[in-house]
């Protein structure tokens, strides 16, 4: 079956699925493969559960006309998404970066939804599968689609851009994330910049942080750009007014009191502001969108439990995000502050160096009570308490409960699942 024929089948059913447990009735099922699963083994089950067609790349034992045998099911999904992207009239706004992608995406979505029919990447479905699935969420009514793109190695962003072919793009920042796959900080800059490279090659509009010297230099001679800055009068001016207790910013005389913590969220808000401005969303609506956003899913959440105030930032971690989280938490008196840090993953040969740096940073900021969790932090030479596993930490906390008035920061990579600490408080 050709992609245009597959697209006609998709338009009739309106949805795709890759998991029989969540498959919608009538959907196109794509039999994807992973390290621990093979969707071809579930293709018949998908049909029995109501799928209209099952796109497979291995012959099936049962003879059923609803099986569509393709050379590669994943590539077929991506080709279908690319075809659908051009079938629809929606404009595509893509973003990537080392830190803050998902928060920025949510803010942009809220702002643009004030005026336009807008969809956005759900959660963090930002890889070679998630981007395709998001593009297939576009309907005839969709005017703008905000597509988050993640990557952990070179050429990945370039590939995702080739699928989505964005009309607009933004890079949040360049940080020490996925150092193993990118091959160091310069590799991160090169890999993330593939988005700007794609947009510049096609003459598309780029949004950027004019106060970021890397972005400013990269785009110095590019015309189709729209930037924000705190100081540079050549770009849209946005001022950071306060960071305590929450982030407050101002643009065109409108003050915006967000429910976000930390100066590190300021550029994320700025990106949403300038995109709203560019797309003619009224400034009062932009402010309302930012002020109504409450972080969730373990991303810089402010919680209270049994009298303890908690900053839960356990969705992910890398040296850059660790640093800004620690520096923000260090503001104010330190006597009641307790820090839990979990391993940072995908550091490769940089693991010991970066975990040592973060530990030394915590010490230099004056934190007395810091708990280090994970095999990488266990290798650091320090007088802080170290736990090779979460189980060891659990045993310790049950025997040594924290003070009732403790102020707590929980920060670690997703695989550490440090949100489990909440059950121990």
Helices marked H in 127-193 — which ranges?
Answer: 130-135, 156-164, 179-182, 185-192
Question: How far is it, in rounded angstroms, from Cα 143 to Cα 141?
Answer: 6
Residue 367 pLDDT > 90, yes or no?
A: yes
* pLDDT per position as a tens digit, 234-273: 899 999 999 988 999 999 999 999 999 999 999 999 999 9
- The correct answer on CATH 2.60.40.10 for the domain covering 301-424 is no
User: Does residue 280 surpass a pLDDT of 90?
Assistant: yes
Parallel/antiparallel/unpaired status of strands 385-387 and 91-96:
unpaired
CA distances from 252 to 209, 229, 272, 274, 280 (A): 17, 13, 14, 11, 14
Mean predicted confidence (pLDDT) in 26-41: 94
User: For the chain, what are the domain ranges?
Assistant: 3-77, 88-292, 301-424
Per-residue pLDDT reduced to its tens digit, 77-87: 999 999 999 99
pLDDT tier at 422 (50, 70, 90 boundaries)? very high
Q: Are 73 and 31 in contact (CB under 8 A)?
A: yes
Neighbours of 14 (CB within 10 A): 13
CB 175 within 8 A of CB 99: yes
Q: Would the pLDDT of 181 be above 90? A: no
Secondary structure of 122-137 as H, E, C letters: CCCCCCCCHHHHHHCC
pLDDT for the residue numbered 176: 84
Specify the DSSP element, H or E, that contains 11. helix 3-13
Q: At residue 152, does pLDDT exceed 90?
A: no
pLDDT computed for residue 298 by the predictor: 80
Give the pLDDT of residue 274: 98
- Any idea which of 174-183, 192-201, 358-367, 401-410 has the lowest mean pLDDT? 174-183
| DSSP string computed for 281-316 | --HHHHHHHHHH----TTSSEEEEETTEEEEEE-S-
Cα–Cα nearest to 54, from 34, 37, 76: 76
Residue 57 has a pLDDT of 96
Q: What is the pLDDT of residue 124?
A: 81
What is the strand order of the sheet 239-242 is part of? 239-242, 248-251, 254-257
pLDDT tens-digit readout, 98-109: 999 999 999 999
Whether residue 110 has pLDDT greater than 90: yes
Residue 14, pLDDT > 90, answer no
Bridge partners for 338 per DSSP: 369, 408
Three-state secondary structure call for residue 207: strand
- 359 falls in which pLDDT band (50, 70, 90)? very high
Show the DSSP H helices in 138-282 as ranges: 156-164, 179-182, 185-192, 194-201, 213-218, 266-278
Question: For 332, phi and psi rounded to 5 degrees?
Answer: 90, 180
Q: Are 312 and 298 in contact (CB under 8 A)?
A: yes
Identify the pLDDT of residue 287: 98
Query: Looking at residue 300, what is its pLDDT?
Result: 85
CB 235 within 8 A of CB 227: yes
Task: Give the pLDDT mean for 327-354.
Answer: 95
Looking at domain 3-77, its CATH architecture is 3-Layer(aba) Sandwich (3.40)
pLDDT band at 6 (very low <50, low <70, confident <90, very high): very high
Question: What was the pLDDT predicted at 200?
Answer: 98
Name the nearest CA neighbour of 97 among 145, 151, 168, 147: 151
- The CA radius of gyration of the chain, in Å to the nearest whole number, is 23
Q: What is the pLDDT of residues 199-235, one digit of tens each?
A: 999 999 999 999 999 999 999 999 999 999 998 888 9
Residue 19 CB partners (closer than 8 Å, separation 6+): none
Instruction: Judge if pTM exceeds 0.75.
Output: yes
- What proportion of the chain, given as a percentage, has pLDDT over 90? 88
SS3 321: helix
Alpha helices in 307-419 (DSSP H): 319-329, 351-364, 375-378, 390-399
Nearest to 292 by CA among 243, 259, 252: 259
- What's the pLDDT tens digit per position in 284-302? 999 999 999 998 878 888 9
Confidence of residue 340 (pLDDT cuts 50, 70, 90): very high
Residues 20-35, mean pLDDT to the nearest whole number? 94
Mean pLDDT of the chain: 95
What fold is seen in the domain 88-292? 3.40.1190
Predicted local confidence at residue 180, as pLDDT: 85
Is the separation of the CB atoms in 339 and 321 below 8 Å? no
What mean pLDDT comes out for the span 50-73?
95
End-to-end CA distance of the chain: 57
- Among 4, 54, 46, smallest CA distance to 22 is for 46
Find where tokens 């995000």 sit.
321
Tell how strand 369-373 and strand 337-342 pair up: parallel
């Amino acid at each position: 079956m050709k992609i245009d024929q597959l697209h006609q089948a998709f338009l009739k059913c309106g949805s795709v699925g890759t998991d029989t447990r969540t498959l919608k009735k009538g959907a196109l099922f794509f039999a994807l493969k992973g390290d621990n699963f093979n969707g071809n083994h579930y293709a018949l089950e998908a049909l029995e559960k109501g799928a209209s067609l099952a796109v497979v790349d291995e012959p099936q034992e049962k003879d059923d006309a609803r099986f569509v045998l393709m050379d590669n099911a994943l590539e077929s999904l991506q080709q279908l998404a690319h075809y659908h992207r051009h079938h629809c009239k929606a404009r595509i706004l893509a973003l990537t970066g080392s830190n803050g992608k998902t928060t920025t995406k949510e803010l942009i979505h809220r702002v643009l939804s004030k005026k336009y029919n807008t969809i956005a990447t759900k959660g963090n479905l930002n890889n070679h599968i998630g981007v395709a699935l998001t593009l297939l969420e576009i309907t005839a009514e969709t005017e703008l689609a905000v597509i988050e793109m993640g990557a952990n190695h070179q050429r990945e962003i370039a590939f995702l851009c080739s699928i989505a072919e964005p009309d607009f793009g933004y890079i949040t920042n360049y940080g020490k994330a996925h150092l193993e796959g990118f091959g160091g900080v310069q590799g991160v800059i090169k890999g993330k910049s593939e988005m700007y490279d794609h947009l510049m090659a096609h003459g598309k509009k780029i949004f950027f942080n004019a106060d970021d010297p890397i972005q400013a230099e990269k785009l110095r001679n590019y015309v189709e750009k729209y930037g924000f800055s705190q100081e540079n009068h050549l770009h849209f001016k946005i001022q950071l007014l306060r960071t305590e207790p929450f982030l407050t910013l101002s643009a065109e005389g409108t003050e915006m009191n967000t429910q976000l913590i930390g100066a590190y969220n300021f550029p994320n808000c700025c990106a949403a502001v300038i995109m709203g401005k560019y797309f003619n969303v009224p400034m009062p609506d932009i402010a309302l969108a930012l002020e109504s956003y409450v972080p969730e899913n373990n991303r810089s959440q402010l919680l209270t439990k049994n009298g303890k105030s908690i900053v839960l930032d356990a969705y992910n971690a890398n040296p850059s995000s660790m640093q800004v989280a620690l520096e923000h938490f260090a503001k104010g008196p330190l006597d009641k502050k307790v820090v839990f840090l979990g391993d940072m993953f995908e550091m490769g040969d940089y693991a010991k160096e970066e975990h040592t740096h973060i530990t030394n940073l915590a010490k230099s900021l004056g934190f007395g009570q810091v708990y280090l969790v994970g095999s990488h932090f266990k290798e650091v030479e320090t007088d802080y308490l170290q736990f090779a596993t979460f189980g060891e930490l659990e045993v310790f906390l049950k025997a040594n409960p924290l003070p009732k008035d403790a102020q707590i920061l929980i920060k670690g990579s997703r695989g550490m699942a440090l949100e489990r600490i909440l059950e121990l408080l």
